[in-house]
Structures are given as structure tokens and as C-alpha cells.
Structure 1
Amino acid sequence: MNDLPLEELVTNITHFFPDCSYWIFDMLNDPLLLLDEFGMILFMNDKARTFYGHSLEEAKQLHIAQLDLKITVSAQYLHTIRKSGDAGYIFLSTHKKKSNELVPIQIHARYITVHDKSIFALVIKDISVEKQLKQEFELISQMQKNMLPANYKNPLIEIRSIYRPYNYVSGDFFDFKWENNHILHGYIFDIMGHGLATAFNMSAIRVLLSQAFGQHIPLNEKLAWFNQQAISFIENDSFVAVLGFSFDFTTKQLTYSMAGINQFLFVNQNQSLVIQEPGIFAGLDKNAIYEQHTMSFFSGDIFYFMTDGLFELLSTPAESCPSGSAASYRWLCKAMRNPVRRDDISALCLYIK
């Protein structure tokens, strides 16, 4: 019976049962309240009586304002539902049970007319579990954000970041650290997915990449080692996109290696270029081999290492990115606000002084 539209259900039943024998509503799987035009409770079905702890006789003595703690003006409450039309009105509130327990709920309310009488039908959904899960996701999201490195600058370089999860839990992460005060190592990665499984994988991936970058081996071998280890921690239908880099400020050489994040944006005073190289995603092939590339850098150069969630939002060719640290950063931030966004967004923005 829950497959029937609520208005049709109430209208048909009250038509065939004009004496308001609402017992058939007890067959519904959700708590249902029927109110009169003033907000007094006409009926609670069996699920609602169980939920609130009231008998039907007790319920008929109650006004909706005695259950709904967020009602300030009951007339306005009912007016809003009345004006909602065929779409009905869905909103969140907090209701009080007979035991005085407070419960967060979602209400799907409809206004209907039966035999020239106004009826407000409210279907109630307990969202305690959903609210708790939301709070846990928010906590995980904040923990992820707290693990990211802060913006950084010294006489050699200035680093700013962009980080915008699509939902609460992000599959993106980045980090960097110095070696002997003249070599800057770093990486950015993107795990496929956005849910709790991604959050669990995130911890393992971070540890493995930290171990990989702690080894004194070439950058491409670091990614190869990481790939071999990561396969044991990644679900069969998932994978990781990674870009690793090292800036040597003694030789003025950038070394980079790509595994799924196969491009980055390079900007200087004369041009903007998308640097692209091949490299299979990590976590797919244990025997994958990764290439290593180098390029010189100079004062004023800017490097943007980003996940595809941002790269795909660039509505104009990346080569049209304006020069200058501030202008190019604003250009990327503008792209980030594109309404077609469907993915996490992360980027490391490195300005060579």
C-alpha cells in the first residue's frame, strides 16, 4: 500500500469508509498522523502509536505543537503545508515521544480535502541513525582536512593548496616534505570513490606513500614500490591515481612521475602549458613500470598539480591560464565553482621565488 500516492490513499480510503474508520492505515509501514485544519490529531496509525508511545485515545487529545518542538506558530506551520501543492512539503524537525525522548525526524506532509474537510497527512521517518552517520562523516571529513599540510612559504617557494571534497569523505590527499632543506618531495593522489571504504583506504595509502618517499631510490621506483604494496590494500574495483614530484633547488631541476594523474599545469611569464606523460593507475598491475621525467625551473615559474576533479572543470583550455601567481590561482578557484562539478577537488599550487 505504500506504493500509492499519499493523497490518493487517504482520499480513497476515507471515501469507502466515510465514518472515518482509519484502521486500514495500520497496514502502512511508516508512522502516519492525520490532523484537522487546526492541527489537532485525528488519527495515529499503529506504527505512529508505537513510535510515540501514545494510545489512540491519548493521541486524539494532542495538538501537533505538543509533539513538534520546532513549531512556533502552528497556523503558519499548517499554512506552509497547505501551500505546498501536489509536491507536498518535506522538512526536518524534532518530535517528543510520550517518554519525553526527543527524536530527529523527517516529515513528508500533504494537504488534502476529503468530503469538504481539510486534512493534513504527515508521514514520519525517524532519522536518528542518519543524523548519527552524518555526524560521523563530518568528523571523518574534519580529520581528513586536519591531516593536510598547511600553506607554506620560505625564501625558495610558496605553496598554496585547494581542497574541496564533493561529499563529506574525500578520496583526494596531498603532502610534501623537505630533504636537507634544498629538495622538496611531494605527491598528490586520488582514490576512486567517496564513501567510508575510501576513508579506510586513505589511511593505508598515506602510510604506503610516506614509506615509499622515505626510501632513497629514484622517484619512479618509489611509485613502483608503492603500486606493488597498494594492491593488497585496494578493493578489486578500485585504484589510485598518483603524481609524485621532487624539486631540487640546488640543481634547479624538477623530477616527476605519473601514475594515473597524467598531467599538470605549468605557468611562467611567457606561457601556460599542460605537461602530459603516460603512467598506469596504481593498484591495477603489480608489475607496472613508471617513467621518470625532469625539467628545469626558474624564478617566477608556477606548477599546479591537481586531481582530475579540478582539471575536468576547466571550461577554457588550460593553456589560457593567466600568468602570475595570484591571477592564475584566482583563475583556478573560479573554475572550482563550476556547477557541473561531480568529484572531489584538490590541487597543490607551487610558486618558485
Structure 2
Amino acid sequence: MKRLTIIVPCYNEEAVLPSSLSQLTALLQQLIDQQAVAPTSRLLFVDDGSRDQTWSLIASAQLNNQLVTGLQFSRNFGHQSALLAGLTVASQDADIMITIDADLQDDIQAIPKMIALSTQADVIYGVRDSRKTDTWFKRWSATMFYSLMHGLGVEMVPNAADFRLMSKRAVLALLDLPERNMFLRGMVPLVGFPTQKVFYDRKPRTAGETKYPLRKMIAFAVDGITSFSTVPLRLIMNLGIFVVFIGVVLMIYSLIRKFTGQVVAGWSSLMVSMWVLGGVQLIALSVLGEYVSKVFKEVKRRPRFIIQTDTYSQQKPNETSNSTTA
């Protein structure tokens, strides 16, 4: 039987964590009882520097539930870093790893299906069957994002977030990628290996607040685009050529108006230099700055996360086995 670790990133999730702990424990115990996974399988909750009682709840659960383990960051490093930390630690002894958000909007009943398919593929993507629980704007923006990423040549699985199963060899291959700018939705497909999909209906959030408001969603999209594609840089050159063409046309138009006596003093210079060229320069500098900032982060080689407390590594598999079979 394969040893499973379910990795759950948490950030200020005290409102949903009691329910998540209960549901995931029941599911994992059921899988163990059915001999679908090894008795040494575990839950791994990664506290991403929460400011509420998230870690206290995880630490308390570990006292009474030997299936539960946890990682606590020294500060907030971000959702993608929390996922990566969980995969890094779990890959020490797990055969298969599943990542799922703490709010459990992703259907945990898809997990047994993923495990059943793990004999056929190294990566099993959880894919939303529909986006009917989303607002119109979120459905539209998601469609535009996936279309844009596809157009830029970035390989992604539409409507698949971070709910996925990965084999140990797939995780180890992912961990060999040295990037500090983490965008796992684009990095996992780079690993290759056979893949499968499990479709499910996403549930509405039962408590707490979303950790991805519009501002963070836009930043996440920009990070994904600039981490995987140089097309925006080429677009700057094309835009520059286009602006030069427009400038020449406006110059000819201005000369015609001057010779016909219809020119207004200063109109041409304002139109061409201030508005058109100024706007293009700001856009170009912003795009270039985004790429330079990524190079800046990469060359510093700072750690992607710092673990303050690790109860997963402290807990030996045979200890888990004794407690879960009791």
C-alpha cells in the first residue's frame, strides 16, 4: 500500500480549521481502514505565519489525533511557498502527496478517485466541472486568464488550481526546479510524467474570508505570466514599432495642417510626445521592471520558506501506524 500525505496550507483559517480537521481525519481513517493507503499515512497542516489561532488549533489537534502533523513558518511566506514546504517535508517518506486548501471548497470525495488513478499516472489534477459557484466577473476573468496563458505558450490545466495528487518521483522532480518565483500551476506541468484528471464540483466557502481577493488575483496572474513567458518583452518592441509608425503619420498630418493654415500651436508636440510616447515608456518600464525584479529575487537565492516548528519529521511512521490501527 502507498503511504499518503495530505498537505493543507493554512493562513488565518481558525474559522474553518475545526471542520477541516474533522472531515480530513475521517476521510483518511476511512482510506486506511479500507486498505486504500498505508496505515502510516498522515495529514500535514502548514501554517503560513497566521496571525490568528490557526497554529494553536493544529498543535492541539496533534495531541489527540496521531494522524495530524504540522509545519509552522517563522513568518508569512505565501500560499505557494506553503505548498512547496509541505511537499518538501512529505517527500521524505510519502509515496503519494495530495495538496488541498484548508477551506475544503475542493471536494474531498475526489481524493479516493485520485488515489485509485495513482497507479496509472504520477500527477492527478483536480479539475472543476463547472464554475457555477463563482460570480460572473470571476468566471470571465478566469476564462481570460487561461486563454491568455495559453496564448503566451504557458502549459496549464484550465480550471485546475492547487488540488492535485503527485507521486514521489514527480514531487522530487518539481523540487529540483530552483526558481524562487513560485507559480506551481505552471511548474507542475513542466515536470512531465503521465497525468490524469478527476472532475468535481467546487463548494461555496462555509466560513472565513477568501485569501485571494481581486488585488491578489491580479498579482498572481502577473506573476504567472512574467515567470513563464518572455512574450511581453517582445510585445514592447512591437509596440515601439507601432508607436513610431503612428508618430510618423501624425507628423505628416501635422505638416499638412500647417501648410493649410489649420494648425494650432503646440498641438502636435503635445499629442505625439507627451501622451503617446509617455504612455508607451511607462508601460515598457513597468514590464521591464517586473522582469528585473524577478531576476533580482533569483540571484539573491534567499530561502523560499523558513520552518519554525516541524512535527511531521519528528513523528516516526511506526508511531503513526500503532495509533491509527488501535
TM-score of the pair, normalised by structure 2: 0.22
Larger RCO, structure (CA 8 Å, separation 6 or more): 2
Structure number with larger C-alpha Rg: 1
- Which structure shows the higher strand fraction? 1
